[in-house]
Chain A
């Protein structure tokens, strides 16, 4: 995977500079929560391919680099932020690969709390009372969450300038859950954005169900 990233990016030559301030996404729409409860599995056919997304960013960065070079030739300096280099983008892609790894979701929802349990990762948990974004602070970072209209929004700011956002929305017509994940670092203000589509599935259809917990390990039971 990494070699492919290098292949895509080898033509990009970019300046390196200091990091910008962290980006924060505005949530302005009135909360109109929708029901997302249930079990969901990823639809690979409709979901983004990480390599395609990386190529897309690479093209954007290249266009921006070209634009800046032209401005410089015309004697018009450019005071914008530095563009990410090849190594930055590869790092971003590798991180995104880890973050979007979960392919099964279980959403548990009540009037005041929603938990998006993700296989092999931590759950995205949000408590809401309609008064705005909920803020959770822990030793490694800050999470902001809430309903932005009918979309569920999570923004996680971690140490070292790593920002991850998730937006979940449900399409009624096709009974699909869309999760858009954005990964950004202070070195690359070009976020890696990946869309993943999930469709409902019945965990009991196999006739057994397995659950993995830290204290009990993997426990399977028949229905």
Chain B
């Protein structure tokens, strides 16, 4: 990954191609939520609201769902599920139109003017609970809300229909409303984004241009459009987006492969939970086992367990297959192949380190 001095010249006027063969390592189940958490229960009547402006949107997702089995397979599944959920929200933004580019970032980024950070708190087919935090790149908090949506049997009546579509629509609408009520303009936030990106990647680049107070960032001085440092940073940012977009393409293919199995798992999981609840409501006890329906009860228990496992395992196998397919990423830039490996987050950090090295080689200092 180290760049040699001979490569320095070659980065000027570089044409990048990113070939990504790999990645995906994701997670999956439920977390207890504090009782004072301000939930917003989503109704079934959510409809799309208006869109305030052409903000670029970055979506990042993490799962907080408890890994109850403690297995690596479940961890991988939950991580994958988090990406699918992030992708679902992205689809809502894209459906609404009127936004700028909507990307899924491996971790929160200062490149888009607006970032939606999702934490998956519970997902079991019957319930989806997300904590959503939306901020502008200037640090302004637009939204901090926990959303909970519960599915019904009807939600699973159509093949592959998202049983939690209302939740994603509600999240989108709330973010759109929050953006509309704020005064920051898109061009101003674009400048803030450039300066924050510069300060993260090359802290010494524009040290006095960005002011910070109580977590909020403001532009104190604006760099000249002709500043070569700004042009270089812009190019590095494009490289970073190239990486993110390539990963995004992979994610779309992953979602296409997984959606069918994921939907079946959600449905099976809900059926199990409903069945268990029904049994509890009926007051089934050990004493009642000793009657003529004992076999029926035990057979039903085993059949339910078998059904859940079969659905779960098909999903796990798909996740494992995808993991095996996508463990490394090859980035081709200026006649040089950079190989990235590890999790998506690790690859992202590795690529950002590479961008700093590119900058160091190009810097006149």
**What residues on B are CB-neighbors of A121 within 8 Å?**
306, 310
Contacting pair A215 B286 (CB below 8 A):
no
Least CB distance, B224 to chain A, in whole angstroms: 56
Known A-B contacts A160-B301, A214-B311; A139 and B276 likewise in contact (beta carbons under 8 Å): yes
How many angstroms between the C-alpha atoms of A124 and B294 in the bound complex?
Answer: 25
Contacting pair B69 A187 (CB below 8 A):
no
How many angstroms between the C-alpha atoms of A158 and B272 in the bound complex?
Answer: 13
**What residues on A are CB-neighbors of B316 within 8 Å?**
125
**What residues on A are CB-neighbors of B15 within 8 Å?**
none
Main secondary structure of the interface of A (DSSP, over half): mixed
Instruction: For B314, give the chain A residue with the smallest CB separation.
Output: A214
Contacting pair B295 A137 (CB below 8 A):
no
Q: Hey, what's the 0/1 contact readout for B261-303 against A, CB within 8 Å counting as 1?
A: 1001000010011001001000010110110101101110110
Most chain B beta-carbon contacts within 10 A, residue among A98, A127, A160: A160
**What residues on B are CB-neighbors of A112 within 8 Å?**
72
Asked if A69 is at the interface (CB within 8 A of a chain B CB), the reply is no
Number of A-B residue pairs having CB atoms within 8 Å of each other in the complex: 105
Asked if A122 is at the interface (CB within 8 A of a chain B CB), the reply is yes
Known A-B contacts A127-B71, A158-B302; A140 and B272 likewise in contact (beta carbons under 8 Å): yes
Please tell me the number of chain B residues within 8 Å of chain A, measured between CB atoms: 38
For chain B residues 286-338, which have a beta carbon within 8 Å of chain A?
A: 286-287, 289-290, 292, 294-295, 297-299, 301-302, 304-306, 308-314, 316
Q: Hey, what's the 0/1 contact readout for A177-206 against B, CB within 8 Å counting as 1?
A: 000000001110000000000000000000
Known A-B contacts A95-B299, A123-B309, A134-B71; A140 and B286 likewise in contact (beta carbons under 8 Å): no
How many angstroms between the C-alpha atoms of A13 and B264 in the bound complex?
Answer: 47
Contacting pair B264 A158 (CB below 8 A):
no
How many angstroms between the C-alpha atoms of A175 and B310 in the bound complex?
Answer: 29
**What residues on A are CB-neighbors of B264 within 8 Å?**
214-215
Contacting pair A160 B289 (CB below 8 A):
yes
How many angstroms between the C-alpha atoms of A123 and B297 in the bound complex?
Answer: 22
For chain A residues 1-53, which have a beta carbon within 8 Å of chain B?
A: 16, 18-19
Main secondary structure of the interface of B (DSSP, over half): helix
Instruction: For B286, give the chain A residue with the smallest CB separation.
Output: A19
Contacting pair A140 B305 (CB below 8 A):
yes
**What residues on B are CB-neighbors of A136 within 8 Å?**
68-71
Contacting pair A134 B286 (CB below 8 A):
no
For chain A residues 86-134, which have a beta carbon within 8 Å of chain B?
A: 87-88, 90-91, 94-95, 98-99, 112-113, 121-123, 125, 127, 134
**What residues on A are CB-neighbors of B297 within 8 Å?**
160
Least CB distance, B297 to chain A, in whole angstroms: 6
Contacting pair A140 B308 (CB below 8 A):
yes
Least CB distance, A22 to chain B, in whole angstroms: 11
Known A-B contacts A161-B286, A187-B289, A215-B261; A122 and B276 likewise in contact (beta carbons under 8 Å): no
Known A-B contacts A91-B295, A139-B273, A141-B305; A215 and B72 likewise in contact (beta carbons under 8 Å): no
Asked if B170 is at the interface (CB within 8 A of a chain A CB), the reply is no
Known A-B contacts A140-B308, A214-B261; A127 and B72 likewise in contact (beta carbons under 8 Å): yes
Please tell me the number of chain A residues within 8 Å of chain B, measured between CB atoms: 39
**What residues on A are CB-neighbors of B286 within 8 Å?**
18-19, 160-161, 186
Contacting pair B73 A125 (CB below 8 A):
yes
How many angstroms between the C-alpha atoms of A136 and B69 in the bound complex?
Answer: 4
How many angstroms between the C-alpha atoms of A56 and B292 in the bound complex?
Answer: 24
Contacting pair B314 A158 (CB below 8 A):
no
Known A-B contacts A140-B272, A140-B301, A141-B305; A91 and B294 likewise in contact (beta carbons under 8 Å): yes
Least CB distance, A150 to chain B, in whole angstroms: 22
Asked if B100 is at the interface (CB within 8 A of a chain A CB), the reply is no
Known A-B contacts A121-B306, A160-B289, A162-B301; A139 and B71 likewise in contact (beta carbons under 8 Å): no
How many angstroms between the C-alpha atoms of A186 and B301 in the bound complex?
Answer: 14
**What residues on B are CB-neighbors of A90 within 8 Å?**
295
Known A-B contacts A138-B308, A139-B273, A215-B314; A91 and B260 likewise in contact (beta carbons under 8 Å): no
Contacting pair B305 A158 (CB below 8 A):
yes
Least CB distance, A162 to chain B, in whole angstroms: 5
Contacting pair A158 B295 (CB below 8 A):
no
Contacting pair A122 B302 (CB below 8 A):
no
Instruction: For B297, give the chain A residue with the smallest CB separation.
Output: A160
Instruction: For A121, give the chain B residue with the smallest CB separation.
Output: B306
**What residues on B are CB-neighbors of A162 within 8 Å?**
298, 301-302
Asked if A159 is at the interface (CB within 8 A of a chain B CB), the reply is yes
Most chain B beta-carbon contacts within 10 A, residue among A99, A134, A214: A214
How many angstroms between the C-alpha atoms of A85 and B284 in the bound complex?
Answer: 21
**What residues on B are CB-neighbors of A95 within 8 Å?**
295, 298-299, 302
**What residues on A are CB-neighbors of B310 within 8 Å?**
121-122, 214
Known A-B contacts A134-B70, A136-B69; A91 and B298 likewise in contact (beta carbons under 8 Å): yes
Asked if A213 is at the interface (CB within 8 A of a chain B CB), the reply is yes
Least CB distance, A40 to chain B, in whole angstroms: 18
Q: Hey, what's the 0/1 contact readout for A44-86 against B, CB within 8 Å counting as 1?
A: 0000000000000000000000000000000000000000000
How many angstroms between the C-alpha atoms of A134 and B70 in the bound complex?
Answer: 8
Instruction: For B74, give the chain A residue with the smallest CB separation.
Output: A136
How many angstroms between the C-alpha atoms of A153 and B116 in the bound complex?
Answer: 45
Between-chain CB contacts (< 8 Å), 16 pairs: A18-B287, A87-B292, A87-B294, A90-B295, A95-B298, A98-B299, A125-B316, A127-B71, A127-B72, A136-B71, A160-B284, A160-B289, A161-B289, A185-B294, A187-B289, A214-B311
